[in-house]
């Protein structure tokens, strides 16, 4: 009975629902009473939470990332860079190698073999093209490319980017693609079809890589030298328009193959120069690490190593892990790594008449691109040379290219005529000019009067005549341009070789997208799904209204592929 009485008394003492509010209010009031001792002011947590929730829901711009920000993808042969507009660098970079293409449950990289190594580390000899093909997303020659496999790789990479890096819903915002200025139509159609069919992007804007590299450098006219993976592209830009483009197959892919042959010869202890075998047995990742750490470019006039000369950094020995046994280090002359760069990118040891048009060295490619430009455009571009791509990070290659191009200009001038007879005539003319100058100087010194006043007045008269002729040659357009340039710090640089740094094509596209400008090639979802690339207009110079003008995306009656058409 005592137990039941205790339970009943406990139930009777339980406060009612109506009285719970009074208890809580009295408790809150007792907590808020100020103690007599010094204390830190207490704030109502409930009020702060309510105010935070109200401000976060009431103002749409208070979140960290606005849903209207465009997503920027930069497609390359081996990499895909992604990020949001307004950022100075991409958030992530995803590759397309065998490790990135493994399926779920594929543990070849961690399974131990009886020999003590990993299953994924089995080295087998293969051809150079097959050795590099596994790490490429696409190639310019689409005859052996499986476009369905390219679609699957792109879809997997995009899903990984959104799930692991961007952390937003795919397809809600605009998409900006930064792609090379020359892309095969089947490949471009495959990429656009994959993005439009897998996700609901309202529109996709295409931007060319060379122009975006110039934008990231703060220039309107430039000569963009893209040392890419499969090829090197040199593009002349004038007022954001591509004037001339030339390409060469000498890129980082050829350098990787040359370095792979060199390391294979070291591993098998044979001579690389006498061996005609095109097979490579070293690992691709190992070779890429060697290229990124040890590859460098020497100047053309640098002397060869000799025992009498002092030991410079190019004559030292480099210690690298052995290709056959990574636990053992071998000593390799540091200049041998520069020789592979000369062979791959500058065709060292190969005559010019043995090279096809697509096999020209980089310095010759830059010179021919400048030669094909109009004189005024050439003067602006040669003073604003931009180097991009993975090959631009090789130490010394930028200085070597500028030095070789300037030597070609001194040797041939701005003339495309070459040959033995032309060289002999040029030497004869140079000899005649030297003889005439020496004869004039000797005759002037023989007939010079002893008076010192005449020696001063003659140059003054020549200077005044030259100034008078120069003032007469200035037209009214040039005078107006000079008046408008008074606010500038100085005259623009023109007609000299100069290099300008850039943040890269992705940063340029981020700047353009953040300004809310409408691109020349803006493909809408519904129109592309209806007609594909066949629905593009052939008018590449159509007027493009500004995105800030109030026109919607559906107000455009037609779209164009511009330079990609």
Model pLDDT for residues 244-290, shown as the tens digit of each residue? 999 999 999 999 999 999 999 888 877 666 555 678 989 999 999 99
310-364 tens-digit pLDDT = 556 667 888 899 888 878 888 999 999 999 999 999 998 888 888 888 899 999 9
Query: What are the phi and psi torsion angles at 242 (to 5°)?
Result: -80, 115
CATH 3.30.420.40 domain locations along the chain: 71-97+135-215+505-564, 219-250+357-416+493-501
In whole angstroms, give the CA distance from residue 277 to residue 261.
Answer: 9
Alpha helix (H) ranges present in 110-165?
128-133, 147-161
Show the beta-strand stretches assigned E in 143-301.
175-179, 203-208, 222-227, 232-238, 241-248, 279-280
Rg (CA), the chain: 34
In the chain, % of residues over pLDDT 70: 68
| Whether the Cβ atoms of residue 524 and residue 192 lie closer than 8 Å to each other | no
In whole angstroms, give the CA distance from residue 65 to residue 391.
Answer: 34
The better pLDDT of the pair 144, 420 is held by 144
Would residue 66 be called left, alpha or beta, if left means φ above 0 and alpha means ψ between -120 and 50 degrees?
beta
Mean pLDDT along residues 494-503: 93
Collect contacts of 70-73 with beta carbons under 8 A, ≥24 apart: 70/173, 70/174, 70/175, 70/176, 70/205, 70/513, 71/166, 71/168, 71/173, 71/174, 71/175, 71/176, 72/176, 72/178, 72/506, 72/509, 72/510, 72/513, 73/158, 73/175, 73/176, 73/177, 73/178
Give the pair of three-digit tokens for residue 49. Answer: 């939470």
The answer for residues whose C-beta is within 8 angstroms of residue 194's C-beta and 6 or more apart is: 151, 154, 155
Give the pLDDT of residue 158.
Answer: 95
Q: Taking the mean position of all CA atoms in its chain, how far away is CA 11? A: 76
Residue 398 has pLDDT above 90, yes or no: yes
71-97+135-215+505-564 CATH fold: Nucleotidyltransferase; domain 5 (3.30.420)
**Rounded to 10 degrees, what is the CA torsion of 333, 338, 342, 345?**
140
What is the pLDDT of the chain when averaged over all its residues?
Answer: 78
Give the pair of three-digit tokens for residue 160. Answer: 């990984």
Give the pLDDT of residue 307.
Answer: 55
Give the pLDDT of residue 3.
Answer: 43
Residue 239 has pLDDT above 90, yes or no: yes
Give the pLDDT of residue 478.
Answer: 74
Give the pLDDT of residue 98.
Answer: 84
User: For residue 344, which of 259, 254, 278 has the smallest C-alpha distance?
Assistant: 254
Q: Taking the mean position of all CA atoms in its chain, how far away is CA 14? A: 73
Residue 120 has pLDDT above 90, yes or no: no
In whole angstroms, give the CA distance from residue 365 to residue 384.
Answer: 16
Residue 54 has pLDDT above 70, yes or no: no
Q: Does domain 219-250+357-416+493-501 have CATH number 2.60.20.30?
A: no
Residue 26 has pLDDT above 90, yes or no: no
Cα dist from 346 to 44, 178, 334, whole Å: 73, 28, 18
Residue 187 has pLDDT above 90, yes or no: yes
Give the pLDDT of residue 443.
Answer: 63
């Amino acid at each position: 009975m005592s137990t039941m009485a205790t339970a009943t008394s406990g139930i009777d003492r339980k406060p009612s629902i109506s009285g719970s509010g009074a208890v809580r209010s009295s408790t809150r009031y007792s907590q808020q009473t100020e103690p007599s001792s010094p204390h830190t002011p207490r704030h109502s947590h409930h009020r702060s939470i309510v105010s935070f929730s109200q401000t976060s829901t009431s103002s749409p711009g208070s979140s960290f990332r606005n849903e209207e920000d465009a997503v920027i993808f930069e497609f390359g042969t081996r990499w895909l860079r992604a990020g949001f507009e307004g950022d100075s660098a991409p958030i992530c970079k995803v590759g397309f190698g065998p490790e990135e293409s493994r399926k779920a449950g594929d543990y070849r990289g961690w399974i131990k073999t009886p020999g003590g190594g990993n299953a994924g580390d089995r080295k087998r000899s293969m051809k150079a093209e097959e050795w590099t093909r596994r790490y490429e997303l696409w190639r310019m020659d689409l005859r052996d490319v499986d476009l369905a496999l390219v679609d699957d790789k792109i879809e997997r990479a995009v899903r990984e980017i959104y799930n692991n890096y961007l952390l937003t819903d795919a397809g809600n915002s605009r998409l900006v693609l930064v792609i090379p200025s020359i892309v095969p139509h089947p490949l471009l159609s495959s990429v656009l079809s994959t993005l439009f069919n897998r996700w609901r992007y309202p529109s996709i804007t295409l931007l060319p890589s060379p122009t975006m590299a110039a934008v990231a450098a703060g220039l309107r006219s430039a000569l963009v030298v893209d040392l890419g993976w499969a090829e090197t592209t040199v593009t002349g830009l004038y007022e954001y328009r591509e004037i001339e483009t030339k390409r060469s197959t000498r890129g980082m892919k050829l350098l990787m193959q040359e370095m792979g042959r060199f390391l294979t010869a070291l591993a098998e202890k044979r001579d690389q120069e006498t061996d005609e075998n095109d097979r490579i047995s070293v690992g691709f990742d190992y070779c890429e690490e060697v290229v990124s750490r040890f590859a460098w470019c020497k100047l053309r006039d640098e002397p060869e190593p000799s025992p009498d000369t002092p030991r410079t950094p190019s004559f030292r020995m480099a210690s690298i892990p052995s290709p056959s046994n990574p636990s053992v280090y071998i000593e390799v002359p540091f200049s041998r790594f520069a020789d592979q760069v000369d062979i791959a990118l500058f065709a060292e040891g190969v005559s010019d008449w043995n090279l096809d048009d697509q096999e020209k060295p980089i310095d010759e490619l830059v010179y021919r691109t400048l030669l094909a430009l109009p004189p005024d455009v050439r003067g602006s571009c040669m003073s604003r040379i931009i180097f991009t791509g993975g090959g631009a990070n090789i130490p010394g290659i930028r200085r070597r290219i500028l030095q070789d191009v300037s030597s070609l200009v001194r040797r041939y001038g701005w003339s495309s005529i070459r040959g033995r007879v032309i060289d002999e005539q040029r030497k004869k003319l140079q000899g005649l000019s030297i003889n005439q100058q020496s004869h004039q100087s000797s005759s002037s010194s023989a007939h010079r009067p002893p008076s010192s006043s005449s020696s001063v007045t003659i140059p003054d008269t020549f200077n005044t005549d030259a100034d008078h002729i120069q003032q007469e040659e200035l037209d009214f357009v040039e005078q107006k341009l000079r008046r408008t340039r008074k606010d500038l710090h100085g005259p623009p640089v023109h007609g000299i070789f100069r290099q300008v740094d850039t943040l890269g094509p992705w940063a340029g596209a981020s700047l353009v997208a953040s300004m809310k400008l409408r691109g020349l090639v803006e493909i809408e979802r519904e129109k592309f799904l209806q007609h594909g690339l066949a629905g593009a207009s052939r008018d590449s110079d159509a007027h493009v209204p500004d995105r800030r003008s109030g026109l919607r995306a559906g107000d455009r009656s037609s779209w164009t592929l511009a330079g990609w058409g």
